[in-house]
Amino acid sequence: MRSRIAGTGSYLPDKVLTNRDLEAMVDTTDEWIVERTGIRERHVAAPTQSTSDLAMEACIRALAAAGRKPEDIDLIVVATTTPDMIFPSTACLLQKKLGVRHGAAFDVQAVCSGFVYALATADQFLRGGLFKRALVVGAEVFSRIIDWKDRGTCVLFGDGAGAVVLEASNAPGILSSHLHADGSYADILNTPGQVWGGRISGDPTLKMDGGAVFKLAVRVLEEAAQEAFAANGVTVDDLDWLVAHQANVRIIASTARKLGVPESKCVVTVDRHANTSAASIPLALDVAVRDGRILPGHLVLLEGVGGGFTWGSVLVRW
Ligand code: UT7
Protein backbone atom coordinates (compact mmCIF):
# COMPACT_ATOMS: atom_id res chain seq x y z
CA MET A 1 0.00 0.00 0.00
CA ARG A 2 1.22 3.47 -0.90
CA SER A 3 -0.34 6.95 -0.90
CA ARG A 4 -1.08 9.53 -3.57
CA ILE A 5 -2.17 13.16 -3.59
CA ALA A 6 -5.75 13.24 -4.89
CA GLY A 7 -6.39 16.99 -4.69
CA THR A 8 -4.80 20.28 -3.66
CA GLY A 9 -6.19 23.53 -2.30
CA SER A 10 -4.93 26.82 -0.91
CA TYR A 11 -6.16 30.03 0.61
CA LEU A 12 -4.76 33.52 1.13
CA PRO A 13 -6.58 36.06 3.34
CA ASP A 14 -8.15 39.05 1.54
CA LYS A 15 -5.97 41.78 3.07
CA VAL A 16 -2.84 42.45 0.98
CA LEU A 17 0.18 44.25 2.44
CA THR A 18 2.47 45.46 -0.34
CA ASN A 19 6.13 46.44 -0.12
CA ARG A 20 4.99 50.04 -0.59
CA ASP A 21 2.74 49.67 2.47
CA LEU A 22 5.79 48.50 4.45
CA GLU A 23 7.76 51.57 3.34
CA ALA A 24 5.37 53.57 5.53
CA MET A 25 5.96 51.28 8.51
CA VAL A 26 9.75 50.65 8.61
CA ASP A 27 12.93 51.98 6.96
CA THR A 28 12.77 49.85 3.81
CA THR A 29 12.07 50.11 0.09
CA ASP A 30 10.18 48.07 -2.46
CA GLU A 31 13.43 47.84 -4.46
CA TRP A 32 15.41 46.37 -1.52
CA ILE A 33 12.74 43.77 -0.73
CA VAL A 34 12.30 42.68 -4.36
CA GLU A 35 16.04 42.54 -5.07
CA ARG A 36 16.98 40.65 -1.85
CA THR A 37 13.95 38.35 -1.56
CA GLY A 38 11.73 38.43 -4.67
CA ILE A 39 8.75 39.26 -2.42
CA ARG A 40 6.25 41.84 -3.72
CA GLU A 41 3.33 41.41 -1.34
CA ARG A 42 2.01 39.30 1.52
CA HIS A 43 -1.48 38.59 2.87
CA VAL A 44 -2.56 39.27 6.44
CA ALA A 45 -5.38 37.42 8.20
CA ALA A 46 -8.33 39.45 9.50
CA PRO A 47 -8.43 39.79 13.31
CA THR A 48 -11.38 37.39 13.33
CA GLN A 49 -9.48 34.71 11.37
CA SER A 50 -7.35 32.06 13.05
CA THR A 51 -5.05 29.42 11.60
CA SER A 52 -7.85 26.83 11.59
CA ASP A 53 -10.05 29.23 9.56
CA LEU A 54 -7.36 29.58 6.90
CA ALA A 55 -6.81 25.83 6.99
CA MET A 56 -10.54 25.24 6.58
CA GLU A 57 -10.66 27.30 3.37
CA ALA A 58 -7.70 25.42 1.89
CA CYS A 59 -9.26 22.07 2.89
CA ILE A 60 -12.62 22.90 1.26
CA ARG A 61 -10.75 23.53 -2.01
CA ALA A 62 -8.57 20.42 -1.71
CA LEU A 63 -11.61 18.23 -0.95
CA ALA A 64 -13.46 19.66 -3.97
CA ALA A 65 -10.43 19.02 -6.20
CA ALA A 66 -10.27 15.42 -4.95
CA GLY A 67 -14.04 14.93 -5.32
CA ARG A 68 -14.31 14.05 -1.62
CA LYS A 69 -16.42 15.13 1.35
CA PRO A 70 -15.19 15.87 4.89
CA GLU A 71 -16.71 12.58 6.14
CA ASP A 72 -14.41 10.67 3.76
CA ILE A 73 -11.42 11.85 5.84
CA ASP A 74 -10.09 9.71 8.70
CA LEU A 75 -6.82 11.53 9.43
CA ILE A 76 -6.09 15.26 9.75
CA VAL A 77 -2.51 16.46 10.17
CA VAL A 78 -1.95 20.20 10.46
CA ALA A 79 1.54 21.65 10.23
CA THR A 80 1.63 24.97 12.02
CA THR A 81 3.83 27.13 14.22
CA THR A 82 1.00 29.57 14.93
CA PRO A 83 -1.75 27.37 16.42
CA ASP A 84 -5.13 28.82 17.41
CA MET A 85 -4.55 27.82 21.04
CA ILE A 86 -1.96 26.05 23.17
CA PHE A 87 -4.46 23.18 23.08
CA PRO A 88 -6.54 21.60 21.63
CA SER A 89 -4.48 21.16 18.49
CA THR A 90 -5.39 23.23 15.44
CA ALA A 91 -6.11 19.90 13.71
CA CYS A 92 -8.86 19.15 16.26
CA LEU A 93 -10.33 22.64 15.86
CA LEU A 94 -10.22 22.20 12.09
CA GLN A 95 -11.86 18.78 12.42
CA LYS A 96 -14.73 20.39 14.35
CA LYS A 97 -15.16 23.09 11.67
CA LEU A 98 -15.20 20.40 8.97
CA GLY A 99 -17.88 18.51 10.91
CA VAL A 100 -15.75 15.37 11.15
CA ARG A 101 -16.06 13.31 14.35
CA HIS A 102 -14.08 10.18 13.54
CA GLY A 103 -10.47 9.28 12.84
CA ALA A 104 -7.40 11.03 14.24
CA ALA A 105 -6.31 14.67 14.22
CA PHE A 106 -3.06 16.19 15.43
CA ASP A 107 -0.55 18.98 14.75
CA VAL A 108 3.04 18.75 13.58
CA GLN A 109 5.48 21.47 14.64
CA ALA A 110 8.48 21.66 12.33
CA VAL A 111 8.17 25.35 11.38
CA CYS A 112 8.83 25.91 7.65
CA SER A 113 9.50 22.19 7.10
CA GLY A 114 6.15 21.42 8.71
CA PHE A 115 4.28 20.46 5.56
CA VAL A 116 6.99 18.03 4.43
CA TYR A 117 7.04 16.52 7.94
CA ALA A 118 3.23 16.28 7.97
CA LEU A 119 3.05 14.71 4.50
CA ALA A 120 5.73 12.16 5.39
CA THR A 121 3.85 11.34 8.61
CA ALA A 122 0.48 10.90 6.89
CA ASP A 123 2.12 8.79 4.16
CA GLN A 124 3.48 6.40 6.80
CA PHE A 125 0.01 6.00 8.38
CA LEU A 126 -1.61 5.32 5.00
CA ARG A 127 1.13 2.90 3.96
CA GLY A 128 0.73 1.09 7.26
CA GLY A 129 -3.02 0.72 6.63
CA LEU A 130 -4.12 2.55 9.79
CA PHE A 131 -6.02 5.23 7.85
CA LYS A 132 -7.41 5.51 4.32
CA ARG A 133 -7.66 9.20 3.50
CA ALA A 134 -5.92 12.20 5.06
CA LEU A 135 -6.10 15.94 4.93
CA VAL A 136 -2.53 17.22 5.21
CA VAL A 137 -2.43 20.95 5.85
CA GLY A 138 0.12 23.72 6.28
CA ALA A 139 -1.48 26.85 7.77
CA GLU A 140 -0.05 29.92 9.47
CA VAL A 141 -0.79 33.39 10.78
CA PHE A 142 2.86 34.41 11.03
CA SER A 143 1.82 38.08 11.00
CA ARG A 144 0.95 37.58 14.70
CA ILE A 145 4.46 36.57 15.79
CA ILE A 146 6.32 39.22 13.76
CA ASP A 147 7.94 42.31 15.25
CA TRP A 148 6.44 44.87 12.86
CA LYS A 149 9.19 47.34 13.82
CA ASP A 150 12.03 45.01 12.76
CA ARG A 151 12.72 45.60 9.06
CA GLY A 152 15.07 42.60 9.01
CA THR A 153 12.15 40.20 9.49
CA CYS A 154 8.77 41.92 9.05
CA VAL A 155 9.13 42.25 5.27
CA LEU A 156 9.68 38.51 4.88
CA PHE A 157 6.55 36.80 6.21
CA GLY A 158 2.84 36.44 5.49
CA ASP A 159 -0.29 34.42 6.32
CA GLY A 160 -1.88 31.62 4.31
CA ALA A 161 -2.81 27.96 4.09
CA GLY A 162 -2.41 25.04 1.72
CA ALA A 163 -3.79 21.51 1.89
CA VAL A 164 -3.76 18.19 0.08
CA VAL A 165 -6.03 15.16 0.22
CA LEU A 166 -3.76 12.12 0.54
CA GLU A 167 -5.32 8.74 -0.29
CA ALA A 168 -4.19 5.17 0.20
CA SER A 169 -3.37 3.80 -3.22
CA ASN A 170 -1.89 0.70 -4.84
CA ALA A 171 0.58 2.82 -6.77
CA PRO A 172 2.62 5.83 -5.70
CA GLY A 173 2.10 8.74 -5.38
CA ILE A 174 4.67 9.44 -2.79
CA LEU A 175 7.91 7.70 -3.74
CA SER A 176 10.03 8.67 -0.73
CA SER A 177 10.31 10.97 2.27
CA HIS A 178 13.50 12.03 4.02
CA LEU A 179 13.35 14.09 7.21
CA HIS A 180 16.18 15.72 9.14
CA ALA A 181 16.68 17.91 12.19
CA ASP A 182 19.64 19.49 13.97
CA GLY A 183 18.57 21.28 17.14
CA SER A 184 22.01 22.82 17.58
CA TYR A 185 20.83 25.52 15.14
CA ALA A 186 17.88 26.56 17.37
CA ASP A 187 19.51 29.95 18.02
CA ILE A 188 19.55 31.26 14.43
CA LEU A 189 15.75 31.23 13.95
CA ASN A 190 13.26 31.15 16.80
CA THR A 191 10.41 32.78 18.67
CA PRO A 192 11.64 32.42 22.24
CA GLY A 193 8.59 33.54 24.24
CA GLN A 194 6.46 31.17 26.28
CA VAL A 195 3.37 31.27 28.44
CA TRP A 196 4.40 31.04 32.08
CA GLY A 197 2.22 31.63 35.12
CA GLY A 198 -0.50 33.33 33.10
CA ARG A 199 1.90 35.73 31.38
CA ILE A 200 4.11 35.72 28.30
CA SER A 201 7.68 35.22 29.42
CA GLY A 202 10.43 36.17 26.96
CA ASP A 203 10.04 37.73 23.53
CA PRO A 204 7.08 36.31 21.58
CA THR A 205 8.25 37.69 18.21
CA LEU A 206 10.38 36.00 15.57
CA LYS A 207 14.18 36.39 15.78
CA MET A 208 16.47 35.45 12.93
CA ASP A 209 20.10 35.56 11.82
CA GLY A 210 19.16 35.96 8.15
CA GLY A 211 22.61 35.34 6.69
CA ALA A 212 23.18 32.13 8.68
CA VAL A 213 19.70 30.86 7.78
CA PHE A 214 20.27 31.63 4.11
CA LYS A 215 23.55 29.66 3.94
CA LEU A 216 22.20 26.68 5.88
CA ALA A 217 19.00 26.59 3.79
CA VAL A 218 20.84 26.42 0.47
CA ARG A 219 23.20 23.71 1.77
CA VAL A 220 20.53 21.41 3.21
CA LEU A 221 18.09 21.88 0.33
CA GLU A 222 20.79 20.73 -2.07
CA GLU A 223 21.75 17.78 0.15
CA ALA A 224 18.13 16.73 0.63
CA ALA A 225 17.47 16.78 -3.11
CA GLN A 226 20.57 14.66 -3.83
CA GLU A 227 19.48 12.25 -1.10
CA ALA A 228 16.01 11.87 -2.68
CA PHE A 229 17.43 11.38 -6.17
CA ALA A 230 19.92 8.73 -4.98
CA ALA A 231 17.30 6.84 -2.95
CA ASN A 232 15.00 6.61 -5.98
CA GLY A 233 17.62 5.92 -8.63
CA VAL A 234 16.70 9.08 -10.55
CA THR A 235 18.81 12.01 -11.70
CA VAL A 236 18.15 15.72 -11.76
CA ASP A 237 17.25 15.36 -15.46
CA ASP A 238 14.26 13.17 -14.53
CA LEU A 239 12.80 15.95 -12.36
CA ASP A 240 9.87 17.91 -13.78
CA TRP A 241 9.24 20.34 -10.92
CA LEU A 242 11.07 21.58 -7.84
CA VAL A 243 8.62 22.93 -5.25
CA ALA A 244 10.90 24.23 -2.50
CA HIS A 245 9.96 26.21 0.61
CA GLN A 246 9.02 29.71 -0.51
CA ALA A 247 11.12 31.96 1.74
CA ASN A 248 13.33 33.88 -0.65
CA VAL A 249 13.64 33.58 -4.43
CA ARG A 250 17.44 33.74 -4.05
CA ILE A 251 17.44 30.62 -1.84
CA ILE A 252 15.41 28.75 -4.47
CA ALA A 253 17.60 30.02 -7.33
CA SER A 254 20.87 29.17 -5.50
CA THR A 255 19.61 25.67 -4.67
CA ALA A 256 18.49 25.11 -8.26
CA ARG A 257 21.83 26.35 -9.60
CA LYS A 258 23.80 24.01 -7.32
CA LEU A 259 21.60 21.07 -8.34
CA GLY A 260 21.59 21.92 -12.03
CA VAL A 261 17.79 22.37 -12.12
CA PRO A 262 16.79 25.03 -14.68
CA GLU A 263 14.85 27.92 -13.15
CA SER A 264 11.99 27.11 -15.54
CA LYS A 265 11.41 23.93 -13.49
CA CYS A 266 11.20 25.79 -10.17
CA VAL A 267 7.76 26.75 -8.89
CA VAL A 268 8.02 30.23 -7.40
CA THR A 269 5.09 31.91 -5.64
CA VAL A 270 6.97 33.75 -2.87
CA ASP A 271 6.47 37.03 -4.78
CA ARG A 272 2.72 36.96 -4.02
CA HIS A 273 2.57 35.67 -0.44
CA ALA A 274 6.08 35.99 1.10
CA ASN A 275 7.21 33.29 3.54
CA THR A 276 4.10 31.58 4.93
CA SER A 277 6.20 28.97 6.77
CA ALA A 278 4.41 25.58 6.79
CA ALA A 279 1.86 26.84 4.25
CA SER A 280 4.37 27.81 1.58
CA ILE A 281 4.94 24.43 -0.10
CA PRO A 282 1.26 23.42 -0.42
CA LEU A 283 0.45 26.98 -1.58
CA ALA A 284 3.05 26.76 -4.36
CA LEU A 285 2.04 23.19 -5.20
CA ASP A 286 -1.63 24.17 -5.54
CA VAL A 287 -0.79 27.08 -7.84
CA ALA A 288 1.28 24.88 -10.16
CA VAL A 289 -1.35 22.12 -10.21
CA ARG A 290 -4.20 24.52 -10.95
CA ASP A 291 -2.37 26.45 -13.66
CA GLY A 292 -1.63 23.17 -15.43
CA ARG A 293 2.14 23.05 -14.97
CA ILE A 294 2.15 19.89 -12.83
CA LEU A 295 0.59 17.07 -14.88
CA PRO A 296 -0.03 13.34 -14.35
CA GLY A 297 3.22 11.40 -14.58
CA HIS A 298 5.42 14.33 -13.60
CA LEU A 299 8.18 13.87 -11.03
CA VAL A 300 7.83 16.56 -8.35
CA LEU A 301 10.27 17.22 -5.50
CA LEU A 302 8.87 18.99 -2.43
CA GLU A 303 11.55 20.39 -0.13
CA GLY A 304 11.26 22.18 3.18
CA VAL A 305 13.71 23.88 5.53
CA GLY A 306 13.05 25.89 8.65
CA GLY A 307 13.46 26.56 12.34
CA GLY A 308 14.77 23.78 14.51
CA PHE A 309 16.64 23.46 12.26
CA THR A 310 14.53 21.01 10.32
CA TRP A 311 14.61 20.02 6.68
CA GLY A 312 13.51 17.28 4.36
CA SER A 313 12.03 16.17 1.07
CA VAL A 314 9.09 14.27 -0.36
CA LEU A 315 9.46 12.96 -3.93
CA VAL A 316 6.14 12.51 -5.71
CA ARG A 317 5.13 10.85 -8.99
CA TRP A 318 2.07 12.95 -9.87
O1 UT7 B 1 12.03 29.81 6.38
C2 UT7 B 1 13.30 30.28 6.69
C3 UT7 B 1 13.11 31.68 7.17
N4 UT7 B 1 14.06 32.66 6.84
C5 UT7 B 1 14.64 32.85 5.64
O6 UT7 B 1 14.51 32.13 4.70
C7 UT7 B 1 15.50 34.06 5.51
C8 UT7 B 1 16.86 33.72 4.99
N9 UT7 B 1 17.66 34.92 4.82
C10 UT7 B 1 17.39 35.82 3.86
O11 UT7 B 1 16.46 35.67 3.09
C12 UT7 B 1 18.32 37.00 3.72
O13 UT7 B 1 19.44 36.80 4.53
C14 UT7 B 1 17.65 38.34 4.09
C15 UT7 B 1 16.58 38.67 3.05
C16 UT7 B 1 17.02 38.25 5.47
C17 UT7 B 1 18.67 39.46 4.09
O18 UT7 B 1 19.29 39.55 2.84
P19 UT7 B 1 20.88 39.74 2.75
O20 UT7 B 1 21.19 39.91 1.32
O21 UT7 B 1 21.51 38.60 3.50
O22 UT7 B 1 21.08 41.13 3.46
P23 UT7 B 1 21.92 41.43 4.79
O24 UT7 B 1 21.32 40.74 5.98
O25 UT7 B 1 23.35 41.18 4.49
O26 UT7 B 1 21.65 42.95 4.96
C27 UT7 B 1 22.14 43.88 4.05
C28 UT7 B 1 21.77 45.27 4.55
C29 UT7 B 1 22.03 45.50 6.03
O30 UT7 B 1 22.52 46.81 6.16
P31 UT7 B 1 24.09 47.07 6.41
O32 UT7 B 1 24.39 46.39 7.70
O33 UT7 B 1 24.77 46.45 5.22
O34 UT7 B 1 24.16 48.55 6.45
C35 UT7 B 1 20.67 45.42 6.66
O36 UT7 B 1 20.56 46.23 7.80
O37 UT7 B 1 20.37 45.45 4.36
C38 UT7 B 1 19.80 45.97 5.57
N39 UT7 B 1 18.43 45.55 5.65
C40 UT7 B 1 17.43 46.21 5.04
N41 UT7 B 1 17.42 47.31 4.27
C42 UT7 B 1 16.23 47.69 3.78
C43 UT7 B 1 17.91 44.47 6.30
N44 UT7 B 1 16.59 44.41 6.12
C45 UT7 B 1 16.27 45.48 5.34
C46 UT7 B 1 15.06 45.96 4.80
N47 UT7 B 1 15.09 47.06 4.03
N48 UT7 B 1 13.88 45.34 5.01
pLDDT tens per residue across span 78-122: 999 999 999 999 999 999 999 999 999 999 999 999 999 999 999
Q: Are 7 and 164 in contact (CB under 8 A)?
A: yes
Q: How far apart are CA 178 and CA 200, in angstroms?
A: 35
Q: What mean pLDDT comes out for the span 164-191? A: 97
pLDDT band at 22 (very low <50, low <70, confident <90, very high): very high
Largest CA distance in the chain: 55
> For residue 171, what pLDDT is reported?
87
pLDDT of residue 155: 98
- Note if 178 is an active site residue: no
Of the pLDDT bands very low, low, confident and very high (cuts 50, 70, 90), residue 172 is confident
Peptide bond preceding 158 in cis form (omega within 30 of 0): no
C-beta neighbour count of 188 within 10 angstroms? 17
Pick the residue whose CA is nearest to atom 11 on ligand 1.
248
What is the pLDDT averaged over residues 177-192? 98
* Residue 212 CA, ligand 1 centroid: distance in Å: 11
Regarding the beta carbon of 36 and ligand 1, being less than 6 Å apart is answered: yes
Q: Which atom of ligand 1 is found nearest the CA of 111? A: 1
Confidence of residue 261 (pLDDT cuts 50, 70, 90): very high
Q: Region 59-80: what's the mean pLDDT?
A: 98
154 classed as catalytic: no
Question: Ligand 1 pocket: which of 214, 215, 275 to mutate (most atoms <8 Å of CB)?
Answer: 214
Peptide linkage before 88 cis (omega within 30 of 0) = yes
What percentage of the chain exceeds 70 in pLDDT?
100
Q: Is 190 a catalytic residue?
A: no
Please compute Rg for the chain using Cα positions: 18
Domains in the chain with CATH codes? 2-171 (3.40.47.10), 175-317 (3.40.47.10)
Task: Please state, in angstroms and rounded to a whole number, the distance separating the CA atoms of residues 42 and 153.
Answer: 13
